[in-house]
Amino acid sequence: MFTAAHRVTKITKNESLAPIEGDKTTTIPQNKNLHPEFSPEIPQTKKKKLFRTDTSEADDASSLELFQKRISPILRSPKASSCMECHLSGVDLKNYIGKTEEETFASLRSGGLIDLKNPDRSKILTFIKRAPKKESPISREVRKKEFDAFRAWIRLAVKDPELAAAKAGNDQLGPTLPLEVVRHTRKSRVLKSFVENIWSEVGRCVNCHSPELNRNQIGRNGLTKEDVEAISWVVPRNPAATLEMLIESGNIDTDNPELSSLITKPVGLEKHGGGPKFALGSRTDKNYRRFLNDYAAIVNGKYNKLEQLPEEPTEIAVLSKQQLRIVDLPARLDKKLLRVDIFRKVGRTWSKTRWATAESLINGERNMWQNVILVIAPRDSARAKKMKPNVSRLPAGRYLVKIYIDQDNKTKKDRDYQLGKRDFYGQVEIQGEWKPGYQPPKVIQFPAKS
Ligand code: HEC
Ligand code: HEC
């Protein structure tokens, strides 16, 4: 039996990086939560009034005094800068501050971050000004302090002839990592990846893990109300808050990402109240691991080079509500991983790319296989842009169902193994409408081996 209380006591390892916790940047309007293409930032124009303060101090201090009093302390501060609210690694305001005023000024100027003619329009100020839609009062204060300090200093510094003559050293101040890495480790990118790899299939978990749906689990298998509340890690219609919740509750382990309960339980490597939800080596397993490993690498600062970044999957998929059943499977195929790829008739030929897929273990005892299908399309295709979980489904039409079976359990040995040509078993054509839901599923006969 698990204890209801444990979720509160588990704490993330990466707190000091202050990543997702408390972040409001990634909260998404309820109706937009389904598609990954979102950006939490608001156009700069809307925010002008946020920073209209502070000119007084600048008048009587020298730029050096200002630098020492207000810029250097940022460098020495153990606290994370406001940048970390959106950038999980590679970017920190500290990276833009040198040991001396001259070094800092010369480097920022040569890096194009200071605008000599229009100091208030300096790029470094634009970076600092970038705020999430919903700023917490604390980060708002930090950001304002940083902004006021830099603006006051830059205003004075650009007028100083000695600074103007200062030569930049060899070390360019700025991000410590290549821009591709900076981009990859932005929080909004992380959220996009969470949505694509995990949230897109959260429908497999909501009956027990969403507070909106799991009340009827109370009383089952001895689960109390508290037990059920303790495992309500899904925040309905809010992938950003769900991710926060998973981190806070310790279900994501950034030291050993593949040992996170988020994967070990549903894939059946650890006892799970809900039983195994997807197979080892299946697409879902690969997606979960892709996200978890990438997230851990990001918060642990493991990426230094472009080549280390994981490749983006070429397809995106969402869970439909359409069920596919294959009957008359031989018992000897029990527990083998079976995948279907479904192609649509377009004109006279079958589509080049698959329109749907599904993957799970064969139930040899009952001579069948059944699964809900994922609607799938190449990234950036028109079809992909329209896809929505639980809403998207295969329209009526003619389809070719290609069946692949992992007869030698290759995916169990190597979870990254992709079933391919060698695992092809046979194919079946289907036609007509395909209603969502279990009753009835689309039923096809297991084909003779081709
Ligand atoms: C509200 C979220 C947010 C905050 C806070 C934020 N950034 Fe960014 N940052 C972004 C976004 C979004 C981009 C990508 C902008 C684009 O592609 O035009 C970006 C891009 C960058 C880049 C790469 C520029 C490029 O050409 O891709 C750097 C460097 C950067 N930010 C530095 C900083 C620094 C330094 C801070 C803190 C002073 C900061 N950012 C704070 C959201 C943020
Ligand atoms: C039929 C109900 C059911 C379904 C569906 C289900 N689970 Fe669970 N899950 C449970 C129960 C009950 C527990 C508590 C017992 C335990 O820890 O195994 C649990 C625990 C967990 C935990 C640990 C939670 C915590 O805070 O301790 C994680 C993580 C988890 N499940 C992930 C998933 C994922 C991911 C899915 C979907 C792919 C899923 N579960 C689907 C019933 C379910």
- Of the ligands numbered here, which is closest to the C-alpha atom of 140? 1
Judged by average pLDDT, the poorest of 1-15, 147-161, 240-254, 427-441 is: 1-15
Contacts of residue 362, defined as CB under 8 A and 6 or more positions apart, other chains included, come to 329, 333, 334, 335, 336, 337, 338, 368, 369, 405
The verdict on the CB of residue 147 being under 6 Å from ligand 1 is no
Atom of ligand 2 nearest to the CA of 270: 18
What's the CA gap between 69 and 381, in Å, rounded?
Answer: 53
Strands 437-445 and 315-327: parallel
Structure tokens, 360? 């799970």
Pairing mode, if any, of strands 356-361 and 437-445? Answer: unpaired
Of residues 275 and 47, the one with the higher pLDDT is 275
pLDDT, average across residues 309-330: 94
In this structure, the number of other CB atoms found within 10 A of the CB of residue 325 comes to 14
DSSP state of 367: T
Average pLDDT, the chain: 86
Ligand closest to Cα of 223 equals 2
Burial of residue 368, with CB atoms counted within 10 A of its CB: 0-12 exposed, 13-18 middle, 19 or more buried: middle
> How many Cα atoms within 13 Å fall on the side-chain side of residue 31?
0
Q: pLDDT band at residue 391, thresholds of 50, 70 and 90?
A: confident
pLDDT at residue 179 is higher than 70:
yes
Tokens (6 digits) for 59? 């008048």
User: What pLDDT was estimated at residue 390?
Assistant: 73
- Atom 20 of ligand 1, nearest CA residue: 183
pTM, entire model: 0.84
Cα 383 to ligand 2 centre (Å): 32
| pLDDT score recorded for residue 222 | 87
Predicted confidence at residue 124, as pLDDT, reads 97
| pLDDT band, very low/low/confident/very high, at 60 (cuts 50, 70, 90) | low
Distance 84 CA to ligand 1 centre (A): 10
Indicate the pLDDT class of residue 350, thresholds 50, 70 and 90. Answer: very high
Q: Per mean pLDDT, which range of 109-113, 118-122, 347-351, 435-439 is the poorest? A: 435-439
Using alpha carbons, select from 325, 304, 297 the residue that is nearest to residue 180.
304
Task: Looking at the CA of residue 201, tell me the nearest atom of ligand 2.
Answer: 38
Is residue 32 pLDDT above 80, yes or no?
no
b/e per residue 269-287 (b: at least 16 CB within 10 A): eeeebeeebbbbbbbbbbb
- 426 — phi, psi (to 5°)? 180, 180
Alpha-carbon gap, residue 370 to 385, rounded angstroms: 28
Closest CA to 180 of 309, 373, 20: 309
At position 211, the amino acid (one-letter code) is P
Domains of the chain with bracketed CATH: 8-18+183-308 (no CATH), 44-175 (no CATH), 315-445 (2.60.40)
Contact between residue 299 and residue 88 where contact means Cβ atoms under 8 Å apart: yes
- Average pLDDT, integer, range 404-410: 97
What's the gap in Å between 274 CA and the centre of ligand 2? 5
